[in-house]
Structure 1
């Protein structure tokens, strides 16, 4: 018998409530504080489930600079027709566009950093969302 499993991506940061609200608004989900006050979960429809954890010694990743690893990367999938609007929403909520220096012309995946410095991509689906 196989045990039913699920997974949750946990992002570390200095202010988990603020970052959880950023992702909750961006993903149309809810931020939920559990029994552990330094861990906030973001849960919503369409399989959204991630957690934000306070790290008192947090230092943001420096990726795409080569001296440090990326640490984690969230990929948010949208319909191609919604890509520009999704980018506007992310920036309005506090995301910062990033560049790896390899992009050229129109592209179907856009790289950002969240307010705590984690990288994430908004990308066009190859299937219907």
Structure 2
């Protein structure tokens, strides 16, 4: 039997209930645990995330160096435009759109508490010709 049986990505934030709603809706997840200081969710694929109350939480400032990237999440999506629209509908915001150096397109967004994440196309793009 393995020593570690599960892993959970935990994001610190001032209002875990609100941030959990954002990710719950975006990931089509369900709440699996809620206490006064922590909310955990899990989606159909088994991905687990939790949001821990920290009254002194400071949003990451990525890409600025001060208080920069504290955690980074990548989400594979079928439709970048639709995923980005959904992020905005739920209170998040786009940070950067770019052509990645590899075979994937990506867009960087931030959740309502300021944590950055990447939407990465699940589809390979055709190599540039000429």
TM-score category, normalised to shorter length:
0.7 to 0.9
Q: How many residues align?
A: 121
Q: Do structure 1's residue 112 and structure 2's residue 112 form an aligned pair?
A: no
CA contact (8 A) 1:16 1:52 kept: yes
- Runs in 1 of length 4+ with deviation above 4 angstroms? none
TM-score where L is the length of structure 1: 0.83
TM-score (norm 2): 0.82
Counterpart in the other structure of 2:44: 45
Q: 1:72-111 counterparts in 2 under 5 A?
A: 72-79=71-78, 82-99=79-96, 103=98, 108-111=105-108
Offset, 1:48: 2.2
**Greater strand fraction, Structure 1 or Structure 2:** 2
Gaps of 5+ in 1: none
**1:21, CA displacement in angstroms?**
0.3
RMSD: 2.2
Unmatched 5+ residue regions in structure 2?
A: 125-130
Q: What SS does structure 2 have at the residue aligned with 1:121?
A: strand
Contact in 1 for aligned 2:73/2:118 (Cα 8 Å) = yes
